Structure formats: structure tokens, C-alpha cells
Structure 1
Amino acid sequence: MNIDSTPIVAIATAPGRGGIGVVRLSGKDLAPVMAAVCRLPASGNLQPRHATYLDFVQADGTVIDQGLAIYFKAPHSYTGEEVLELQGHGGPVVLQMLLARCLEAGQSIGLRLAQPGEFTQRAFLNDKLDLAQAEAVADLIEASTEAAAKSASQSLSGAFSKVIRELVDKVIHLRMLVEATLDFPEEEIDFLEKSDARGQLSRIRESLERVFAQAAQGALLREGLNVVLAGQPNVGKSSLLNALAGSDVAIVTAIAGTTRDRVTETIQIEGIPINIIDTAGIRDAIEASDEVERIGIERTWSAVREADVILHMLDASRGPTRADEDIVGRFPETVPVIRLWNKIDLSGHQPGVERSTDATHIYLSATDHVGLELLRSELLRIAGWQQTGESLYLARERHLAALKSARNHLEMAAELAAQSDQALDLFAEELRLAQERLNSITGEFTSDDLLGVIFSRFCIGK
């Protein structure tokens, strides 16, 4: 990807009012903008990496705001280019005025508004960050739990990239031995035995499995689980949502059809975000009280089809009904189902878990908050969450796909290594493909199209 060195500018703080707002510029030779927008000290310039309190002014000298100007000289900046940060009061109007003034003053150098993620994209292209670290910037900003933020910070510090590079180095070393043997076929050496190629490959695969396990757990921290509450009206879905959330986020009444639309609440279980979606009670469309409830029921089925886990709620005090079985018959076969038998305070059941071939059954009381820990534990089990005590990397689906692909190539290499030296050329090719897939994680081998997609999802100003 070609590096666009055109100077860029954007508001780098979140929309809305705040105590402090930041306008950030990056590019070559920002001196004209500094001189025009900032009422510079007597020395006539800003000392790099020092905060200077001064006025931000219009072309006629009137003051827009007063604040701090910090200048970072290339390459010692976030983007690797010259960077100027203007920190003023965080009102939307004053920030827009300051942004407009920068654009006006920067016309002579071609200053333009930054695209989403363009500052971080330049940091990547100027070798200030690798691709995994660049993605961790966005993940840290978007982290919805403390555990996710810690894992994103781990990746931003380069921990994830470090283990990937170590894997790549091991693959390269093995490739070097294989290809050296291919280059000198006259040397009658049993390569696989003399160089311990099979042992090296086995250790590489073991290392990859450990990295994949940590990355998969990190991906769970990032994405969480989408859990849909489904069932007939008045079985206690909204009561359960409120109990899990610890507050009254859904209206609870004895009137059937109270919940008309999705109500979503995100809770945390051991740091994992669980997005619980309460839906309209499911009953025959003919029984629905009005058009609004019928639309709500249609949206319920839409949510069920998109779920990671379905919580099918039933009334333990009356037992299963034909309507409950009809609901089960419409569940997607590929989505895990937990049958929640609610109202055990009325039925006399004890809280517990029963497993069958089609679903897990949990007995609880949402009203009395009994059996909720059983549900939380089951959600963690389905998610595959394991407290390993190891640092996790907030991996993305892209990273997991690359690791899986590398694993497949190494598996094929192992099968070839088990055959004979006659397959060394194919063995070497599988190692090359595995190396290529691992390199795509850090961006050492990445298509321009992929970079465009990744950085376009960042916020403007980052």
C-alpha cells in the first residue's frame, strides 16, 4: 500500500461535550499551520514533546480558544510523521471552529480531513505499529469489559505479535533446512532424521496450539455471546433478564404480551460480555393481541436465528405444553439450547442441572434469584471459557482464521514428513504457506484490500 503523505487533520476526541477536546494533525511541514493557528511564544516555535499554553486564533487575530499545543517531530510521533495536537475546551462548537481554522490555514500545504483510522494506518505504514497492534488500538477503545481492555492492552504492547514472530522464526528455520537439502540433492543425507525435522515440526505445532487457545479465549472476550431468551408469554423471561442485569431493565407484569420488542442488556460473567436479548413471548399469531405484538413475535424468531445460545424458558409450575414443543421444533438445529425451568419456587423443584442429548435443563427461580449461578456456569461452559491463568490476546476472527489455516498447512506438512524424503518439495511448500498465513496476522504479508477494510472501521481521529 502506498503511503499518502498529504497532511491530515481531525477531531480526536469523542463527539459531545467534555472538559477537554483534541484536534490532531499529521503530515510533513506543519509549520505554516502552527504559525497561523497558534499564537506562538517569543521564540517563534514549539519545543518538541513539550506542552505550551497559548491562544488558538482566527485569521484576524481573534481568539477561538486557549489551550495546550504539543508538537511531535518526525519520526518520534504516533504516526511517524510530524504531529501537532491542539488541546482545548471540549465543546462541539469550539472544536469545529478550531478544525475549520486548521483547514483554512493548511490550504497551502494541502491539509485535508482524515479518514476513519487514517492516523493509525499511517502508524502501521511507517512501521510504528504492526497490524495486530494497530487493530488492538481499536479493540482497546471498544473494549466493553475490564478483562477485554487488559487483553487489548497486551496485544497493543506487542505481546501477541511477539509470539507470532517467534512461531514464524521457527518455521523459517525449518524451511531453511528443507530447502537447503533440496538445493544439494547429491548429499546423501537422511534429512528428516539428521535434522530432527519431525521433532521441530511437532514442537512448532504444539506452540501454535497454545497460541490458538489463548487467541480463541481472547476473541471470546472481544465478541462475547449473543444469548436470546425465548418462550411463551409470562414464563418469566423479563424477570430473568432483570435478575441477571441486577436492575429493572425490562417491564414485568402479569399481562401476556407485555414485552413487544427486543430488550438487550450486556452483563459480564468472569469478564466475558454476555449480550442477553429478551424477546416478545411466542404464541400463535392469531392469539396476538394486536399488530405490534405480531411484529414483536416475528422479531423474536429473527433474533433466535442469529443467536449463539438460546435460553428456552418454561414454566416449571405447569410443566411442558404442546405450545412449548412447537417452539422447540422451530429452533435452529445448529444453535445450543438451554431449557430453563423457571418458577421452581411454585413447583417445588430443587435448583439443579440435567443434561440430555437435545439440551441442558436448568431449574431456577428468577424471582427468588435461585439457580442463577448454575445458568452462568453453563453459559461459560458452552462458550468454551477456561481460566488458564495465562495472558490472553484480544484476537479477531481474522487472526483465528489465519491461525487455523497455518495449523492445516502444518498438519499437511506432518503427513508429508511421515512419508519419505521424496516429498520434501511439497513439505517445503506447506511450510511456506503456513509462514505466509502467520505473517498476515502482523501485516508482513497483507493485501491492500484487507488493510482498507481494517482501518475503515476505526473512529475518525485515530
Structure 2
Amino acid sequence: MTQHLDTITARATPPGTGGIGIVRVSGPQVRAIAHSVLGSVPRPRQATVSPFLDATGNALDYGVAFFFKAPASYTGEDVLELHGHGGVIVIDQMLARVTALGARLARPGEFTERAFLNGKLDLAQAEAVADLIDSQTTAAARCALRSLSGEFSQQIGCLSKIIAEFRMYVEANIDFADEPVAPLESAQAQERMEKAKAQLSTLLDRARPGALLARGASVVLSGAPNVGKSSLLNALARMERAIVSATPGTTRDLIEATVDIDGLAVCLTDTAGLRDSADEIEVEGVRRASAAIETADLVLELIDDSDPEDLANRVEPQAGDERAHLFVLNKCDLSGRPFGPAKMSDGRPGVAICATTGQGITSLEQAIKSRLGYVDNGEDLIMARRRHLDALERAMDHLNKAQDHIGIAMELLAEELRLVQQALGEITGEVTVDDLLGQIFSSFCIGK
């Protein structure tokens, strides 16, 4: 266990006024601080009702204290939690009292960082703590909780063990080529390789939609003025989020709404209609719309299906990734086109809807999921971050390279397997650097 010489403290409940406010303390001075604030050290893991005393022995507050003896605590150190009233002044006074006794204010995520450094959590589990806190949907919260329980880490560990055993046999054949070691036949090596690749491929298939689930998706509604973008935003959000008017150019600024599509948090952005205008405010709205389109995960290209001119102007091939665009044919109640999946004149897929009546919206939601690459596998999803995907993809790349060396260059095969292990170790923190830890834990809330 890593020994820290300093003691840290922070408010563990959200800032502002509330019914309860919690001050958390962790480190070697916890017992001394407990003596000063409570008069004694509470019995471990038992609620102790007590006044919280200032330096003169007067009560700052009355509440409940909990003491967690190392190593059986969140951080692996002695931990004290003071549960008092949630007033801003009360909590500030408590923090001032604890810091005056030798603790310092914690950095964002420092409690969880200590839990990682003390072996209470691996890095993937530590990140799952933040993902659970930041979850915007029930599905995301369940997925993060599974990672926090160690499910993702266990699967990484199982794959690492397969690679380690494979590498051991390869290196034994290199180091003891003249000894009576059972030779590694190419067929054996290929069998081991296929087993490892199959398991890694399964992890990637579960992690890719899980990564999207973790961060959510950005979807921008684009199209000419008065094509029905605001009506579509309201239809998808199931609420009157944007003003709808028959007057073209009503939407001047970006309007956002976050919706839950089968567990995926989707941030919808309604934009100004794309057209040339002499109106300075509308021009700025169009500029912001263009900027939003550039950074979106998916652009819904709205077309007025009842207007032949708009339809003709909008079927030209779009620049960029085809997967990043989805054509939405609106006002199909007027054009007579059947609602649901549709085809453009050039064969590209689209969805026929009526934003004002809601017809075709379910088909559109399914198409949005498909274009984003989100597959709701329920309990099979892994809450992954971009760095996890990068590591898994690098591991697969090294496995493919290793396979090319089977039966040809044993030393290169062993090296590629080592790089696979290294990539997998980065996910759980077995292989890491201080800069990475700083980036990860600085994104946490203070007090966690």
C-alpha cells in the first residue's frame, strides 16, 4: 500500500444548501483530527452522534461521524466522515477547522486516486466511479456499475493471462532452443492466436457501443429554413423545447435538448436554417449552425418532402463521412410518402416522417442508433472510454502483426505479444504514467 504523508479533506456532497453536508478526511492524521473535533476516535464502521467542536471546544454543528480504519476504507487509509447540516457556512467552518488541524484541501479525484494507488481499485474501476456519477441514463449507470464491480477488469485480466501463457511458450522455445522443451508448432501457435483474437474481438464489440453510451452522442438538425427542424426537436424530446413558427428564420441561435434513445443520451441541437441572408443576427446563427455541424457525431439532413424544389436541392452528395449524415424526409403527410425507412433518388437511405404528428419518429430513432453505431446489447455492454478503445485496438493490431511472425520469426512474435500485454495493462493501470493519472483524476469532482 502506498503511504501518503499528508491528510486530505473535501466536501463530499454537492456545493450549495442541502439537508445534509458531508466532510470527508483521509490520511495519517485522521485519528488526531477525530480526537480534536469529536473528543475521541469513533468505533470503526459505527455511526457516532456527536457535536463537532471548534478550537475552543464550542460546537460548530451536531451530526453523525463515521470512522473507517485502514485498510478497510474507500481510500485504503484511515478515513473520517462528518455528516452534518448542509449549510454553506457550516461546511466552510468544518473544512476550516479540519485544515487548521493539519489536513489540506483535496484535488479533484484525489480520494479515488489514493484508492487506486493503494490497490483498492484498478484504473478502469476508478474511471467507472466518475462514469457512474456522470451517467445521464439508466443504461449508462448500470453499465458503469458493472465496470466498477470489476467485470471489465476481469475480462482484461483473463485475456492478459492467455497472452502471457502464449508468450511464455514462445520465449521458452527461444531461450531453450537446445534444451528438451516441447517445441511450439505453428498449428499450436495459430490455435492460441485465434483464441486470443476471438476474445479481444468480443471485447471490442462490447466496448465500442459502451464508449458511446459513456459519453453520449451529439446530433445536429440541419436544413433549409422552415423545413421542420424545430418541430422535429420537439417530437424527439417529447416536449415543446423550441418555438415553432411558419415564419422562415425563426430559429436564430442553437437550441439543445438531451433525449434518451434506448439508454443512449443524445444531445440534439436545433440550428438556424441554412440560407443566404442580409440579417446580421441570422448570419451569425448560420455560422453557429455550420460550426455545430462540424463537430457533430451525426447530422440529420432535413428535407421538405412536400416541396419538390427542396427535395431536388438536397439530394446532392454530402461532403464528409457518409455515416455522419442521415436524410430525414419531413412533411410526408403532405407528400403521401409512406412513413418509416425510405430511399433517396440516388439510393441513399433516409427516413420518412411527419414531425408534427410524430409518425415515423420511432423509425428515425432506430436509424439514429444505427448511424451512430450504437447497439443496445443490454447487460453485454462495457463502459469504455476512448483510451480503452485505443488500447484494445492497439492490442488487436499487435496480435495481427504477431500472427504474421508465427513459424517465421519467434523473437518478433514474442515482442508483439509483449506489446499486446502492455496495451491491455494500460487499461487497468498495471502499465501507466503519471501524466495519464493526472488527466484521469483531474476530471473527477472534488471530494471523490
Q: Contact 1:214 / 1:393 at 8 angstroms: preserved in 2?
A: yes
Secondary structure of 1:53's partner? strand
1:337 aligned partner, one-letter code:
H
CA distance in 1, matches of 2:5, 2:200: 38
1:248-280 per-position Cα deviation (integer Å, ceiling 9, x unaligned): 111111222211111111111111111111111
Match of 1:345 in 2: 333
Find runs of 4+ consecutive structure 1 residues off by over 6 angstroms: none
Which of 96, 100, 117 is residue 100 of structure 1 equivalent to? 96
Alignment partner of 1:127 is 2:115: no
Aligned-pair CA distance for 1:339 = 1.6
Give the distance between the partners of 2:187 and 2:308, measured in 1 at CA: 67
Is residue 340–residue 363 contact of structure 1 (8 Å, CA) maintained in 2? Answer: yes
The alpha carbon displacement at 1:45 in A equals 2.9
Change in CA separation of 1:374 and 1:334 when aligned onto 2, cut-off 3 Å: closer
**Do structure 1's residue 442 and structure 2's residue 431 form an aligned pair?**
no
The residue type equivalent to 2:326 in the other structure is I
**SS at 1:196's partner residue?**
helix
2:80 paired residue number:
84
Q: Given the superposition, is the C-alpha separation of residues 306 and 61 from structure 1 closer, same or farther in structure 2, using an over 3 Å criterion?
A: same
By how many angstroms is 1:187 displaced? 4.2
Candidates 46, 53, 56, aligned match of 1:57: 53
Q: 1:313: Cα distance to partner?
A: 0.9
User: 1:425 aligned to 2:421?
Assistant: no
Q: Distance in 1 between matches of 2:186 and 2:244?
A: 72
What does residue 65 of structure 2 align with?
Answer: 69
Q: Does the Cα contact within 8 Å between 2:227 and 2:330 map onto a contact in 1? A: yes
AA matched with 2:234: N
> Are positions 1:392 and 2:381 aligned together?
yes
> In structure 2, what is the equivalent of residue 36 of structure 1?
36
Aligned match of 1:296: 285
Q: Distance in 2 between matches of 1:359 and 1:64?
A: 68
> Which deviates the most, 452-461 or 316-325?
316-325
**Is the CA contact (8 Å cut-off) linking 2:303 and 2:311 kept in structure 1?**
no
C-alpha spacing 1:329/1:91, structure 2 compared with 1 (3 Å): farther
Give 3-state SS (helix, strand or coil) of 1:162's partner.
helix
Distance 1:251 1:331, change over 3 A: farther
Q: TM-score, length-normalised on structure 1?
A: 0.92
Q: Deviations over 1:281-321 (max 9, x none)?
A: 111033xxx32221111000000111111111121121243
Q: RMSD over aligned Cα, in angstroms?
A: 2.1
1:99 alignment partner, SS class: helix
Query: Which residue of the other structure, out of 187, 192, 207, is the alignment partner of 1:200?
Result: 192
Q: 1:73: Cα distance to partner? A: 1.0
Q: Structure 1 residues 194, 360: closer, same or farther in 2, change over 3 A?
A: closer
* Structure 2 residue 302 is the aligned partner of structure 1 residue 313: yes
Residue 403 (structure 1) shift: 0.3
Other structure's SS at 2:265 match = strand
TM-score by length of 2: 0.95
Corresponding position of 1:456: 442
Match of residue 203 from structure 2: 211
1:190-230: per-residue Cα shift (whole Å, max 9, x none)? 83328822211110110111111111121121122211001
Spell out, residue by residue over 1:400-433, the C-alpha distance to the aligned partner (whole angstroms, 9 max, x if none).
Answer: 000000001111111111xx2x411111000000
Q: Secondary structure at the match of 1:192?
A: coil
Ranges in structure 2 where 5+ consecutive residues have no aligned partner? none
Q: Distance in 2 between matches of 1:362 and 1:165?
A: 43
Q: How many residues align?
A: 447
Q: Distance in 2 between matches of 1:388 and 1:304?
A: 29
Does the 8 Å contact 1:352/1:364 carry over to 2? yes
Consecutive unaligned residues of structure 1, counting only runs of 5 or more, are: none
Further displaced range: 188-197 or 150-159 = 188-197
Distance 2:423 2:314 in 1: 46
Provide the residue aligned with 1:183 in structure 2.
175
